[in-house]
C-alpha cells in the first residue's frame, strides 16, 4: 500500500505546477473577456487550492518516507529536449521545499483574493502569478540539470515580470533591470556548475551525477559556483544588492512569495548542488559558507535597521535570515566532512527549520506591509504611526510575526535559532584549526544579528503601529478586507504552532536530513511533554509549549490577582511626557532617530555615513537642519565601479571601430600570429 | 520527567521565594549606597511599602495608549518571573529546569525587553522614544555578550541546562580556568548594563537626558508601574543568583537531598545575595555614570571578553 502511495506522489506533485500553468494559460487566453473580478477569483482561488494540494502531497511524502526509507525513482516525461525528456523526482529534500512553496503560495493566494482588488492593472499580475508559483514548484521536482535550469529561469522571468507590474514607477524599472542582470549572472554560474558535474560524458541526470562524484578540485569549483549562483538568488552578501530593490517593487503578496519562498528555492538549489551532487565534502567547504552566512546576517540586519521604507526593511531582513540559514548549512558541511553525522543532521535541521519559519513570518510581515500600504497609501515609516488603533487585527498578526522574527520564545524563530546555537556548541569537536577559529567568530556574529533583529523589529513595529499618527493618511487608515486578515492571522497562528510544537516540525524534516547527511535528528514526537532534545537530555532541552503555558499562566494569574486585590480603576488622562502637554506628533521619535544610536555604534563599519547639522547664525530665525547621507560601499564602489569598468572597456573597444584598412589588416595578421603561437605552445 | 510532589514543592517554593526576596535585594543595594554616601537611607522594607502603595493607586493611562500598553507590564513581569524561576537559587534539581535552558533564559529576558521597548513607544512621546531607542542599542551589544558567556559556560560544563551547569561547577572538577574568569567579568558587565545600574544607567535619576530605563517607563503609574518595578527587582535578583549559582555554586542542595541540605542552601543563597548586593552598592558609589555613547565601548569590551573565552575553549578544552 505504501509503495503505491510513494509511486503516485511524484505524478501528483507534478500535477500541481501543471494545473497552475493551465490557470496561467487560461488567464492569458481569456484575458479581458473574463473581467478582472472573475479572473482574480480564478487565479487566486485556483492557485490557493493547487498550493494546498501541493502542501498535502509534500506532507504525505515526508510522513511516508519517514517510515519507509526508499530512494524515489525518477519519472521521465517526454517534455523538453526531444528524445531525452525531462526527469522529475520527489525525495525528502524536494518534499520539504515543495511544502514551503505550497504553504507560502496558499497564504499568498488567499491574501491576493482581497489585496488584488486594489490592483490598477490586474492583468499585469494575474497571468504571471500562477506561472511564478509553477516555476517555484518545478525547481525542487526537477531531477536533471536541464529541467532544473529551465524551471529556475522560468521562475526568475515570471518574478521579473511581476516586479515590473507597476512599470510606470521609474524605480521599479531600475529594480527590474538590476534583478534580471543578477538573475542571469546567477543562472550562468549554475550552468557552469552543472556542466562540471555532468562531465565530458554529459550525464546530466542527477542520478548520473550522483553515481560519478567529481574529483576534489572540480567539487571545490562547483561549491564556489553554487555559492555565486544560488547565493545571488538567495541574497548572500555581496550579491544581495538586487533584493532590497526588486522585492518591494512587486505587489505585496508577490513580495511575500519572493522574500519568503523564492529565496528558499535558492537555498534548495545550493543544497541540491553541494550536499547531494558534489560528492563527499572536504573539511574546508564549511569555512566559506559559514563566513558568507555570518557576514550576510550582520550586514543584512544593519541594512534593514537603516531603511525607512517598510517593504525595503523587510527585504533587507530577508538577507539576514538567509545568512542564518547559510551559517547552519556551513556548520552542517563542516560536521559532515568530519564524519559527525548526528551533529551535521542537527545543523542541517536547524537551517531547514529556519527555512520553514522564515517563510511563515516573512510572508506574514509582507502581508502586513501590504495592508498598511492599502490602508494608508504609503510605505514610508515616517508617515505612519498609531495603526494599532485603526487596524487592530493587522496589528496583532504583525506583532506575532515581529516577535517570531526577533527570535523570542515561545515562537518559532527562537526554536530554530536555539537549534542553531546547539549545533555551534558541538563544534569544538571539529579537528581543523580553520573551523575552530571560524565557528566561534561566526557564532558571535549570529548572536549579534539576532539582537540587532530584535532592535530592528522594535523600530518597525513601534514606529508604524504604535505612537501617534504622523500623517493624515495614517490617522484615517481603515482595516483591510477579510481575506487579507485571515491570511495574516493564519500565518501568525502557524508561527505560534511551530514555536510551541517544534518537535513535530523537526520530525517532518528528518527525511531531508537523512537523505543529505546520512543521519537525522533523534525523533522528537514521542518525548514527554512535547519538548525537544537535540542530543541528550542532560545536555540541552527546550519546551516551547511549557514556556508559553508558564508565561500565559503567570501573566494572566498576576493580572487577575492584582485586579482583584488591588483594584482595577483606570483613569484616562493626557500623556505625561514630563509635563509637556499636547506636543505635536512630529516630536515623536522617527525611524531614523530611533536608529541613530545603532547607526553611530555599528553602521560606520559597513556604510559611508555622513551626518551634518546646519545651524543658522545667531539672530537668524530660520530652522536648523539635519542632513544624513548614507551610502552602501558595496553598491557604490563594487557594482557601480564594475559598471564603470565595463563602460571604459567599451569605450576602448569603440576605438577599434574607426581604424583604417591598413590597421585592420595588421590586426588580422597579429591575431593570426597570436593564435598560431598559442597552438604551437599548446601542442 | 513526570514531576513528583516534593519536587513541585521545591519549584513552587523557589518561585515564591524569588518573588518575595527580590524587592529586598533592591532595598539592600539602595541602603548600602545611601550609607556609603553618609545618608541614612530608606528602611530595608520601604520598597515593599512603595509597591503596595502603587498597587492601591488608580492607574493613569494616556488617552491614546493601546491595549499593548496595559498588557505589557504583566507580560514583562511574567517573562522575567519565568526566567527567574529557572535559575537555581538554593537547590539545583529544579523540576521544570528541562523546559528551558540558559539560552532560553537569555531570550526570555529579551522578550521582556522587547515588549517594554514597544510600550515605551506606544504613547508617542519623545521620552518614550529616547528610552526605547537607547535600551535596544544597549541590548544589541549586551545580548551577544551574554550569549558568548553562555557558550563559555556550556562548553565548560558540556550542557546548556543551568541546573547541570551549576552541578558541574559545584563538583570542583572544573577548577580555575582563564575562560571562566573572562566569562565572569563579561557576565558582570552585562548584568550591570541590563539592570540599568551605574555606570550605564542610573535607576535613581529622573533627569531627562541621562535616563534610559526610566524614560521608557515614564508614562506608567499605579499597578502597572508596580509590576514593572517588581520585574526590575526580579531581574536584578535573577542576575545575582545566576552569577552566584555558576561561579560560587557552594551550598546548593542537590536533587533529592534532605531538608537540612535545603536549609543550608537557603542560608547560603541569602548570604551570597547579601554579599553581591553590598558589592554592587560599593561599585555603584565608586564609579561615575558614563555618557550614553561610552556604553558601547564598555559593552563591546564585555562582548570581546566573552568571545575570547569561547575561543579559548575552542582552542583547548582545559583553558
Taking only the tens place, the pLDDT of each residue in B86-136 is: 898 888 766 677 788 899 999 999 999 999 999 999 998 888 999 999 999
Asked whether residue A652 is assigned to any structural domain, the reply reads: yes
Q: Is A482 on the interface with B (CB under 8 A)?
A: no
pLDDT averaged over chain B?
A: 90
CB-CB neighbors (< 8 A) of B161 in chain A: 538-541
Asked whether residue A524 is assigned to any structural domain, the reply reads: no
Report ipTM (2 d.p.).
0.95
Contact between A258 and A133 (Cβ < 8 Å) = no
Q: Is the peptide bond before B186 cis (omega within 30 degrees of 0)?
A: no
**Residues found in chain A:** 683
Q: Is A321 on the interface with B (CB under 8 A)?
A: no
Query: What one-character DSSP code corresponds to residue B61?
Result: E
Nearest CA in chain B to A553: B78
Q: Which candidate from A573, A593, A597 shows the least CB-CB separation from B63?
A: A573
pLDDT per position in chain B (319 positions), as tens? Answer: 455 677 777 788 888 999 999 999 999 999 999 999 999 999 999 999 999 999 999 999 999 999 999 999 999 999 999 999 889 888 876 667 778 889 999 999 999 999 999 999 999 888 899 999 999 999 999 999 999 999 999 999 988 988 888 888 888 778 788 999 999 999 999 999 999 888 888 877 766 666 788 889 989 999 999 999 999 999 999 999 999 999 998 888 877 777 888 889 899 999 999 999 999 999 999 998 888 888 999 999 999 999 999 999 998 877 7
From the CA of B242, how many Å to the nearest CA of chain A?
Answer: 18
CB-CB neighbors (< 8 A) of A385 in chain B: 124
CB contact under 8 A, A529 and B1: yes
Nearest to B121 by CA among A170, A402, A550, A333: A402
CB contact under 8 A, B82 and A543: no
Contact between A259 and A318 (Cβ < 8 Å) = yes
Burial A670-681 (b: 16+ CB within 10 A, else e): eeeeeeeeeeee
Contact between A449 and A324 (Cβ < 8 Å) = yes
Nearest to B121 by CA among A396, A569, A388, A401: A388
Within 132-161 of A, beta carbons closer than 8 Å to B belong to none
Each residue of B203-229: pLDDT tens digit? 777 666 667 888 899 899 999 999 999
Cell numbers for A478: 481603515
Q: Is A408 on the interface with B (CB under 8 A)?
A: yes
CB-CB neighbors (< 8 A) of A413 in chain B: none
| SS3 readout for A317-359 | HHHHHHHHHHHHHHHHHHHHHCCCHHHHHHHHHHHHHHHHHHH
From the CA of A198, how many Å to the nearest CA of chain B?
Answer: 39
What pLDDT was estimated at residue A142?
93
Q: Which candidate from B62, B77, B227 shows the least CB-CB separation from A575?
A: B62
From the CA of B302, how many Å to the nearest CA of chain A?
Answer: 12
Average pLDDT per consecutive 10 residues, chain A (683 residues; last block may be shorter)? 72 93 91 82 95 95 67 76 84 94 96 90 91 96 93 96 92 94 95 91 86 91 96 93 93 95 96 92 94 95 94 96 97 94 94 97 96 94 94 96 95 95 92 90 95 96 95 93 96 96 92 88 78 81 90 94 89 85 83 91 82 87 86 87 93 88 92 94 82
Burial A292-307 (b: 16+ CB within 10 A, else e): bbbbbbbbbbbbbbbb
From the CA of B127, how many Å to the nearest CA of chain A?
Answer: 7
User: DSSP characters for A654-676?
Assistant: HHGGG--HHHHHHHHHHHHHHHH
CB contact under 8 A, B155 and A428: yes
CB contact under 8 A, B104 and A418: yes
Contacts of A201 (CB under 8 A, 6+ apart): none
The total domain count for chain A is: 1
Within 517-576 of A, beta carbons closer than 8 Å to B belong to 528-529, 531, 537-543, 546-547, 550-552, 554-556, 558-559, 562-563, 565-567, 569-576
Q: Is A475 on the interface with B (CB under 8 A)?
A: no
Q: Coil, helix or strand for A628? A: strand
Measured CA to CA, the distance from residue B135 to residue B116 in angstroms comes to 9
Distance of CA A418 to the CA centre of its chain: 19
Nearest to A329 by CA among A305, A358, A362, A294: A294
What pLDDT was estimated at residue A569?
87
From the CA of A259, how many Å to the nearest CA of chain B?
Answer: 24
Distance of CA B264 to the CA centre of its chain: 23
Asked whether residue A663 is assigned to any structural domain, the reply reads: yes
Nearest to A532 by CA among A423, A426, A415: A415
Q: Coil, helix or strand for A144? A: strand
CB contact under 8 A, B126 and A577: yes
Query: Position of cell 530512494?
Result: A71
Measured CA to CA, the distance from residue B99 to residue A542 in angstroms comes to 5
CB contact under 8 A, A596 and B107: no
Q: Which candidate from A556, A563, A589 shows the least CB-CB separation from B129?
A: A589
Domain limits at A666?
A: 634-682
Measured CA to CA, the distance from residue A167 to residue A154 in angstroms comes to 20
CA angle at A315 for the pair A548 and A117, rounded to the nearest 5°: 90
What pLDDT was estimated at residue A1?
43
Q: Which of B142, B144, B186, B201 to mutate to test the interface with A (most CBs of A within 10 A)?
A: B144
Asked whether residue A640 is assigned to any structural domain, the reply reads: yes
In angstroms, how far is the first alpha carbon of chain A from the final one?
62
Q: Is A436 on the interface with B (CB under 8 A)?
A: yes
Query: Position of cell 535578583?
Result: B237
Asked whether residue A657 is assigned to any structural domain, the reply reads: yes
Q: Which candidate from B56, B98, B124 shows the least CB-CB separation from A468?
A: B124
CB contact under 8 A, A409 and B104: yes
Asked whether residue A291 is assigned to any structural domain, the reply reads: no
Asked whether residue A655 is assigned to any structural domain, the reply reads: yes
Measured CA to CA, the distance from residue A619 to residue A656 in angstroms comes to 63
Q: Is A461 on the interface with B (CB under 8 A)?
A: yes
From the CA of A671, how many Å to the nearest CA of chain B?
Answer: 57
Burial class (CB within 10 angstroms; exposed 0-12, middle 13-18, buried 19+) of A504: middle
Contact between A397 and A492 (Cβ < 8 Å) = yes
Q: Which of A390, A439, A555, A569 to mutate to test the interface with B (most CBs of B within 10 A)?
A: A555
What pLDDT was estimated at residue A636?
86
Q: How far lies B234's CA from each of A571, A634, B105, B161, B184, in Å?
A: 28, 45, 13, 21, 20
From the CA of B123, how many Å to the nearest CA of chain A?
Answer: 5
Measured CA to CA, the distance from residue A645 to residue A298 in angstroms comes to 29
Cell numbers for A402: 515581529
Q: How far lies B199's CA from each of B212, B281, B290, in Å?
A: 12, 12, 5
Q: How far lies B191's CA from each of A317, B116, B133, in Å?
A: 29, 18, 19
CB-CB neighbors (< 8 A) of A596 in chain B: 133
Asked whether residue A653 is assigned to any structural domain, the reply reads: yes
What pLDDT was estimated at residue B208?
62
CA angle at B285 for the pair B284 and B288, rounded to the nearest 5°: 75
Contact between A420 and A347 (Cβ < 8 Å) = yes
Each residue of B227-245: pLDDT tens digit? 999 999 999 999 999 999 9
Give the DSSP H or E segment for A530. Answer: none
Nearest to A62 by CA among A531, A529, A493, A515: A515
Give the DSSP H or E segment for A610. Answer: strand A608-614
CB contact under 8 A, B219 and A571: no
Burial class (CB within 10 angstroms; exposed 0-12, middle 13-18, buried 19+) of B107: buried
Q: Which of A302, A456, A458 to mutate to test the interface with B (most CBs of B within 10 A)?
A: A458
Q: How far lies A130's CA from each of A15, A22, A111, A262, B114, in Å?
A: 13, 9, 14, 14, 38
Q: How far lies A468's CA from each of A386, B63, B208, in Å?
A: 5, 11, 21
Size of interface A-B (CB pairs under 8 A): 283
Nearest CA in chain A to B74: A555
Amino acid at each position: 500500500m505504501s509503495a503505491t502511495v510513494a509511486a503516485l506522489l511524484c505524478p501528483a506533485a507534478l500535477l500541481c505546477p501543471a494545473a497552475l500553468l493551465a490557470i496561467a494559460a487560461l488567464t492569458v487566453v481569456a484575458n479581458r473577456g473574463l473581467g478582472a473580478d472573475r479572473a482574480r477569483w480564478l487565479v487566486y482561488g485556483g492557485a490557493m487550492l493547487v498550493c494546498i494540494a501541493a502542501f498535502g502531497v509534500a506532507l504525505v511524502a515526508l510522513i511516508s518516507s519517514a517510515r519507509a526509507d526508499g530512494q524515489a525513482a525518477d519519472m521521465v516525461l517526454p517534455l523538453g529536449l526531444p528524445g531525452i525528456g525531462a526527469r522529475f523526482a520527489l525525495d525528502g529534500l524536494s518534499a520539504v521545499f515543495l511544502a514551503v512553496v505550497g504553504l507560502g503560495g496558499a497564504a499568498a493566494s488567499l491574501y491576493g483574493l482581497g489585496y488584488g482588488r486594489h490592483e490598477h492593472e490586474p492583468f499585469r499580475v494575474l497571468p504571471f502569478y500562477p506561472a511564478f508559483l509553477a516555476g517555484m514548484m518545478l525547481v525542487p521536482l526537477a531531477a536533471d540539470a536541464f529541467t532544473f535550469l529551465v524551471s529556475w529561469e522560468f521562475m526568475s522571468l515570471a518574478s521579473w515580470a511581476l516586479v515590473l507590474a507597476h512599470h510606470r514607477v521609474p524605480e521599479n524599472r531600475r529594480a527590474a533591470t538590476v534583478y534580471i542582470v543578477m538573475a542571469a549572472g546567477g543562472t550562468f554560474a549554475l550552468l557552469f556548475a552543472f556542466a562540471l558535474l555532468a562531465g565530458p560524458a554529459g550525464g546530466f541526470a542527477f542520478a548520473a551525477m550522483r553515481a560519478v562524484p567529481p574529483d576534489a578540485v572540480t567539487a571545490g569549483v562547483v561549491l564556489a559556483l553554487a555559492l555565486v549562483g544560488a547565493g545571488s538568488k538567495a541574497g548572500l552578501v555581496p550579491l544581495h544588492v538586487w533584493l532590497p530593490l526588486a522585492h518591494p517593487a512587486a505587489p505585496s503578496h508577490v513580495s511575500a512569495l519572493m522574500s519568503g519562498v523564492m529565496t528558499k528555492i535558492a537555498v534548495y538549489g545550493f543544497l541540491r548542488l553541494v550536499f547531494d551532487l558534489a560528492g563527499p565534502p572536504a573539511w574546508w567547504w564549511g569555512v566559506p559558507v559559514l563566513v558568507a552566512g555570518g557576514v550576510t546576517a550582520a550586514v543584512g540586519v544593519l541594512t534593514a535597521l537603516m531603511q525607512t521604507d517598510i517593504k525595503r526593511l523587510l527585504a533587507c531582513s530577508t538577507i539576514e535570515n538567509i545568512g542564518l540559514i547559510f551559517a547552519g548549512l556551513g556548520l552542517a558541511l563542516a560536521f559532515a566532512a568530519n564524519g559527525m553525522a548526528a551533529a551535521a543532521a542537527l545543523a542541517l535541521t536547524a537551517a531547514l527549520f529556519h527555512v520553514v519559519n522564515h517563510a511563515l513570518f516573512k510572508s506574514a510581515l509582507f502581508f502586513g506591509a501590504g495592508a498598511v500600504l492599502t490602508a494608508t497609501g504609503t510605505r514610508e515609516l515616517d508617515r505612519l504611526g498609531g495603526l494599532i488603533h485603526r487596524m487592530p487585527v493587522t496589528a496583532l498578526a504583525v506583532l506575532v510575526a515581529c516577535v517570531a522574527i526577533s527570535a523570542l520564545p515561545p515562537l518559532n524563530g527562537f526554536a530554530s535559532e536555539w537549534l542553531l546555537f546547539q549545533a555551534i556548541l558541538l563544534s569544538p569537536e571539529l579537528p581543523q584549526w580553520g573551523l575552530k577559529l571560524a565557528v566561534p567568530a561566526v557564532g558571535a556574529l549570529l548572536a549579534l544579528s539576532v539582537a540587532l533583529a530584535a532592535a530592528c523589529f522594535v523600530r518597525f513595529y513601534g514606529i508604524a503601529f504604535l505612537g501617534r499618527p504622523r500623517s493624515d493618511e495614517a490617522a484615517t487608515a481603515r482595516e483591510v478586507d477579510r481575506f487579507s486578515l485571515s491570511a495574516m492571522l493564519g500565518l501568525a497562528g502557524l508561527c505560534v504552532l511551530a514555536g510551541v510544537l517544534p518537535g513535530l516540525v523537526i520530525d517532518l524534516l528528518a527525511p531531508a536530513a537523512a537523505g543529505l547527511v546520512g543521519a537525522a535528528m533523534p525523533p522528537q514526537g514521542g518525548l514527554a511533554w512535547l519538548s525537544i532534545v537535540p542530543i541528550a537530555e542532560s545536555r540541552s532541552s527546550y519546551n516551547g509549549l511549557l514556556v508559553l503555558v508558564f508565561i500565559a499562566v503567570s501573566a494572566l494569574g498576576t493580572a487577575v490577582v492584582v485586579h482583584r486585590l488591588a483594584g482595577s480603576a483606570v483613569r484616562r488622562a493626557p500623556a505625561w511626557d514630563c509635563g509637556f502637554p499636547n506636543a505635536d506628533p512630529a516630536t515623536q521619535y522617527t525611524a531614523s532617530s530611533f536608529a541613530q544610536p545603532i547607526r553611530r555604534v555599528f553602521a560606520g563599519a559597513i556604510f559611508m555615513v555622513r551626518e551634518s547639522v546646519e545651524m543658522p547664525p545667531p539672530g537668524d530665525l530660520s530652522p536648523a537642519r539635519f542632513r544624513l547621507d548614507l551610502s552602501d560601499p558595496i553598491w557604490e564602489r563594487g557594482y557601480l565601479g564594475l559598471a564603470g569598468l565595463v563602460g571604459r572597456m567599451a569605450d576602448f573597444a569603440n576605438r577599434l571601430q574607426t581604424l583604417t584598412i591598413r590597421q585592420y589588416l595588421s590586426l588580422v595578421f597579429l591575431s593570426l600570429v597570436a593564435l598560431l603561437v598559442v597552438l604551437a605552445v599548446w601542442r | 520527567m513526570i514531576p513528583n510532589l516534593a519536587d513541585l514543592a521545591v519549584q513552587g517554593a523557589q518561585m515564591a521565594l524569588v518573588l518575595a526576596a527580590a524587592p529586598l535585594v533592591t532595598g539592600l543595594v539602595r541602603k548600602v549606597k545611601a550609607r556609603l554616601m553618609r545618608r541614612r537611607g530608606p528602611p530595608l522594607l520601604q520598597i515593599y511599602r512603595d509597591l503596595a502603595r502603587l498597587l492601591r493607586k488608580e492607574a493613569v493611562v494616556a488617552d491614546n495608549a493601546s491595549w499593548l500598553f496595559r498588557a505589557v507590564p504583566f507580560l514583562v513581569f511574567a517573562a522575567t518571573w519565568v526566567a527567574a524561576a529557572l535559575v537555581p537559587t538554593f537547590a539545583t534539581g529544579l523540576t521544570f529546569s528541562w523546559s528551558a535552558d540558559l539560552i532560553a533564559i537569555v531570550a526570555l529576558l529579551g522578550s521582556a525587553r522587547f515588549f517594554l521597548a514597544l510600550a515605551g513607544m506606544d504613547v508617542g512621546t519623545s521620552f518614550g522614544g529616547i528610552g526605547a531607542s537607547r535600551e535596544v542599542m544597549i541590548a544589541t551589544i549586551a545580548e551577544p555578550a551574554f550569549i558568548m558567556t553562555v557558550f563559555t559556560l556550556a562548553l565548560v560544563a558540556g550542557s546548556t541546562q543551568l541546573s547541570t551547569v551549576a552541578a558541574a561547577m559545584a563538583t570542583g572538577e572544573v577548577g580555575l580556568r582563564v575562560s571562566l574568569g573572562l566569562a565572569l567579568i563579561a557576565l558582570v558587565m552585562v548584568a550591570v548594563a541590563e539592570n540599568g545600574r551605574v555606570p550605564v544607567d542610573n535607576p535613581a535619576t529622573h533627569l531627562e537626558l541621562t535616563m534610559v530605563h526610566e524614560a521608557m517607563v515614564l508614562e506608567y503609574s499605579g499597578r502597572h508601574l508596580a509590576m514593572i518595578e517588581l520585574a526590575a527587582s526580579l531581574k536584578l535578583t535573577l542576575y545575582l543568583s545566576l552569577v552566584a549559582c555558576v561561579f560560587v555554586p557552594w551550598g546548593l542542595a542537590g536533587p533529592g537531598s534532605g531538608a537540612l541540605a535545603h536549609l543550608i542552601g537557603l542560608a547560603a543563597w541569602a548570604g551570597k545575595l547579601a554579599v553581591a548586593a553590598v558589592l554592587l552598592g560599593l561599585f555603584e558609589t565608586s564609579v561615575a555614570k558614563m555618557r550614553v555613547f561610552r556604553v558601547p565601548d564598555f559593552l563591546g569590551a564585555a562582548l570581546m571578553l566573552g568571545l575570547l573565552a569561547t575561543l579559548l575553549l575552542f582552542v583547548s578544552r582545559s583553558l
